[in-house]
Amino acid sequence: MSKIRIHIKSEQIADVIEIANKDAIHKIRNVLRLGTGDDLYAFDGQGSEYLCKISQLGKKVLVLDKVSLLKKSKQSKVKLTLAFPVDKDDKVSLILQKATELGVSEFIPFTSQRTQKIKIDQKKLDRWAKVIVEAVRQSERLWIPQIRDVANFKNLIRSNHELKLAGAITGGSLEKLLPKKFSDVFYIIGPVGDFSPQEYSELGENGFEFIKLSNYLLKVETAAIVGVGLINYLARG
């Protein structure tokens, strides 16, 4: 059987862990069909993973005995922040899922002149956070990326980072623009219809380097995934 991981917040990690989350219990009991004595791997999203055994599994409660600490890691030396435009849930979910798998440290949704007019409430942010946690679980990451509140474009691009990149069809080579050593990269992608000419001007005025990812126009989600993948690949070099 493949490794089965479950997210448990660091403050809940103890020698005996009691879980009352209905969705988690349903999945473990009825989908994965685990039972007393089976192994589970608990990650806290803060760099640690533990081997646990199921000591009790009922319809309303799951009890785990912590066996040992299996993994402990520090945050990546390269912090990669992805700023993406507010869009429909299916597109945002794809961006969050794949970019998490590829190593993004932080997500910032933003509104700009051409972003979709979509209401973003706490319920939606919580749903997006669940997508991120599930991607961390599936990809066996140990740290959960943070998703921040929706930002305004003008305020967002004034933030300070070691390297600020923006996707653009007329941009330069990412490989040539990336320094040999860097630890803090901010990458922003435009909405459907792209940034406006005024916004491109503002990006340049605020220290952004423009990168070209393809000879063709990319969808928002494609630009996010390709850019993040390339940045992290070059970071390892």
Question: DSSP letter string over 147-196?
Answer: EPPPEEHHHHTTS--SEEEEEEEEEE-HHHHS-SS-SEEEEE---TT---
* Domain interval for residue 124: 79-236
Are residues 47 and 106 both part of a single domain?
Answer: no
Residue ending a domain, choose from 72, 101, 118: 72
pLDDT surpasses 90 at 224: yes
Are residues 57 and 145 both part of a single domain?
Answer: no
Secondary structure of residue 37 in the 3-state scheme:
coil
Are residues 56 and 153 both part of a single domain?
Answer: no
How far is Cα 232 from Cα 237, in angstroms, rounded to an integer? 9
Q: What pLDDT, in 10s, does the model give residues 43-101?
A: 999 999 999 999 999 888 999 999 999 999 999 888 999 999 999 999 999 999 999 99
Q: What is the percent of the chain where pLDDT is above 90? A: 78
Number of domains in the chain: 2
Are residues 105 and 219 both part of a single domain?
Answer: yes
Are residues 10 and 127 both part of a single domain?
Answer: no
Q: What pLDDT, in 10s, does the model give residues 174-197?
A: 888 787 778 899 999 999 999 999
How far is Cα 124 from Cα 76, in angstroms, rounded to an integer? 28
Q: Which of 141, 177, 119 is nearest to 46 (CA)?
A: 141
Residue ending a domain, choose from 27, 47, 72: 72
Q: What is the percent of the chain where pLDDT is above 70? A: 98
Are residues 121 and 180 both part of a single domain?
Answer: yes
The pLDDT, as a whole number, for residue 237 is 56
Are residues 126 and 25 both part of a single domain?
Answer: no
Radius of gyration of the chain measured on its C-alpha atoms: 20
Are residues 55 and 84 both part of a single domain?
Answer: no
Q: What average pLDDT does the structure give for the chain?
A: 93
Are residues 66 and 88 both part of a single domain?
Answer: no
- CB environment 39-55: b (16+ within 10 A), e (fewer): ebbbbbbebbbbbbebe
**pTM for this predicted structure:** 0.92
The enclosing domain of 16 has a CATH number of 2.40.240.20
Q: What pLDDT, in 10s, does the model give residues 141-184?
A: 999 999 999 999 999 999 999 999 999 998 998 888 787 778 89
Residue ending a domain, choose from 72, 93, 120: 72
Q: Give the CA count within 13 Å in the CB-facing half-sphere of 126.
A: 3
